Structure 1
Amino acid sequence: MGNRLQDHPFFYNVYALKREANSMKPAAGALVWTRSQSAAPGDLDLHISGTHLIDPKVSPTGGAIVLACAVTLPKSVGRLRLSSRDPRAEPDIRYNFFDDQNDLDRLVEAVQLSRRIGRSAPLLDVIDHEMAPGNTVDDGKALRANIVSNAAAYLHPTSTVPMGADSDPTAVVDAWGKVRGVEALRVVDASIIPDIPSAATNVTTIMVAERIAAKLSA
């Protein structure tokens, strides 16, 4: 239990807006899904989201936009452990982002793409300068180091109590959320998804929960 933690590694590519374009209203957003150079056929493993949803106080011009990058099909696997029997104690969470080097390669690719978007019209017309990682950081080794130092979790954790067949020694629950070896206990949330989906986990979790609920009520 807790041995197959996955989340989407996330990096904030931030731009200060020109003062004439920094009203921040209405909040705007856009999503781009694309495939990396190493993606499997049919996979969209990179995600870039553009949004105004950032505190304008962080920008010297009074407005900013984020092009947030993520690897949506990560290979790296982390772990979750309880740090204490005290339910109020924070757990020990090790994401192990970039344990698989390909995850870092692909996130670098996503950030390079987001920077090309940020440096191209029409977005360039409203941008004052790049705040993060910043214009002094090139697209080579410096960018890789910056990503490793500043990567965050997308807060889409899954797979710490994965479902699976009886023959799978890492499976904690069966296909209906029933915990193996424990009577009358089920888990129905994102932790039972065996592999992280390539999208925000809320819709997938709702689908799983409704399917299990329908089975129990049948």
Structure 2
Amino acid sequence: MRRTAPHRPCRRRRPRGRGGGRRRAAAGHGLSRTASRGGIEIVSRDPDAAPRIGLGLLEHPDDLRRMVSGIHHMRQVAKSSPLRNHIKAETWPGLVVTTGADLERAVLEGKNICCHAIGTCVMGRERTSAAVVDQSGTVHGTDGLYVMDALIRPDIPELPTGTTTMMSAERIADDLRQGDCPPDNLREPAAGQRPARTHVAMRFCQTSYA
């Protein structure tokens, strides 16, 4: 939902035209955990051929109901003081759109997706089917190899993945500095022995695509 409202820009901008530009603010909501499921279908024996990807957005009725409920909630927030004193108009879906059927139609016509890829290198116990790293980020079956990014999460967090990735990375980095991670190669080498190398693959921003 996009609304006309004042905001604080990072730097001063010159007004557009003599009357100045209109200030706009955007507010949106989405579903982190959905009941709808998409699918990937192989359409050719050619390994270079792109698969057919169906996102399945809002196909489950619960997802559509929750999205419509979110619009009602955001409208209530917009009516609260002092925010209501600064809002001039609702540009989408518009205050004339009030019935359940009309709101559902607006949501289906305006649906979009914002993806943060996670879970392709998940954390879990060794020798389980999907686990790649343990709780310290150590790659199973290796010494001194660590992974810390959004890909090791076994489930979808209900907040931006960048925040959770940074928190997890800081925790694992602290354990590495303090020597709390299990591999022996983090210990002080014996006299005359070269220290073992520790390789850490760490990204502090989320992996994302649209």
Structure 1 residues 76 and 179: alpha-carbon distance in aligned structure 2, compared to 1, 3 A threshold: farther
1:14 corresponds to which letter in structure 2?
R
2:8 corresponds to which letter in structure 1?
K
Q: CA deviation at 1:120?
A: 4.8
Q: CA deviation at 1:193?
A: 1.0
Structure 1 counterpart of 2:8: 25
Structure 2 counterpart of 1:160: 120
Structure 1 residues 25 and 178: alpha-carbon distance in aligned structure 2, compared to 1, 3 A threshold: closer
Structure 1: where are the runs of 5+ without partners?
Answer: 1-12, 28-55, 87-91
Residues 24-173 of structure 1 mapped to structure 2, 5 A cutoff = 24-25=7-8, 62-76=22-36, 96-98=56-58, 100-166=60-126, 168-173=128-133
1:16 corresponds to which letter in structure 2?
T
Structure 2 counterpart of 1:16: 4
**What is the identity percentage for the equivalent residue pairs of Structure 1 and Structure 2?**
31
**Hey, which bits of structure 1, 4+ residues long, moved more than 6 A?**
181-184
CA RMSD of aligned residues (A): 4.0
Q: CA offsets, 1:189-218, max 9 Å, x none?
A: 112111122222223112222333344452
Structure 1 residues 109 and 192: alpha-carbon distance in aligned structure 2, compared to 1, 3 A threshold: same
2:105 corresponds to which letter in structure 1?
A
Structure 2: where are the runs of 5+ without partners?
Answer: 11-15, 41-46, 180-210
Contact 1:79 1:160 in 2 (8 A): no
With structure 2 as the length reference, what TM-score do the two structures score? 0.57
Structure-2 separation of matches of 1:186 and 1:148: 42
With structure 1 as the length reference, what TM-score do the two structures score? 0.55
Contact 2:118 2:150 in 1 (8 A): yes
- Compare the two structures and name the one with the higher strand fraction: 1
Q: How many residues align?
A: 163
